Amino acid sequence: MRPQRLFILSLACAVCAQAEPCRQTQVELTQSGQPTTLLFPPCAQIKVIARKVTEENAHTTLAEGEVTIRETGGGPMALTLITDRARIHTRAVSKAWMDDIAALVSAGRDDQRYRRQRKPSLRDAERQHELDLANQQLLQRYVDQHGWPGFRTAGVKAARAAFLIVQHADLAMQKRYVEDLRAAVRAGDAWPSSLALLEDRIDVREGRTQRYGSQIQIGADGKPAPHPIQDPGTVDQRRAEVGLEPLADYLKHFAD
């Protein structure tokens, strides 16, 4: 067996471990001569296995030869990458930014506080509306300062929170941020399914047919049915392309 050298980048988190400033990991990959840059969320733990490892400085490491990069956090977006060569660089992130991420995650929980109730009261609906307005202001401040919170730049929970907040915002805010979300999807930093749901919501609100069938109404027979769909015969193909389940399975979630 050819020798390999193993090292682990364990990144202490000022929010979780109360140790040193949280760090974010940037990996520059070279595979078959093609360069790629990938960001891991703040405080991610990265394990790198390679045949040759060189520490360029205190925060930059060069790995060469059958390189395996594994995110060890075990979250839903954890990655394992195999490449020829990788430069791994970590940078300190401010506690203020981590506090902003934590606030965004908390707002994501607030977004669902009363929506989870099967039959919310009128007062519950009013409370949820008040929370929604506060969440929208928080998201606007975050994006103005840091840009759109993708799952690689801000972590999975913050990315999900941002999507929920904008999905439940008014049309003006949705149109304001759909391009940010679209750019994040192109960069591999947001889920295509989130963009599909937001695009459908905007289309329905503006009186157009939707592409993915995600926006539901109650039909004349009292059963849930999608708002009109563009080219309905191929809707499941489009849904599959963005990671959504077949429309028939989706509709089952709305049945009593």
Q: How far apart are CA 212 and CA 228, in angstroms?
A: 10
Instruction: Look at the block and give the residue holding tokens 């929010």.
Output: 15
Dist CA 181 CA 131 (whole Å): 22
- Residues in contact with 50: Cβ distance below 8 Å, sequence separation at least 6, in sequence order: 4, 5, 63, 64, 65, 66, 67, 68, 86
pLDDT (0 to 100) of residue 246: 97
Helix, strand, coil percentages for the chain (3-state, nearest 5): 40, 25, 35
pLDDT at position 179: 97
- List, run by run, the mean pLDDT of 10-residue segments along the chain (256 residues): 45 44 75 68 77 81 82 63 82 84 94 86 92 97 95 87 97 97 93 97 98 93 92 97 96 84
∠ CA 62-24-166, nearest 5°, is 135
Identify whether the C-beta of residue 149 lies closer than 8 Å to the C-beta of residue 99: no
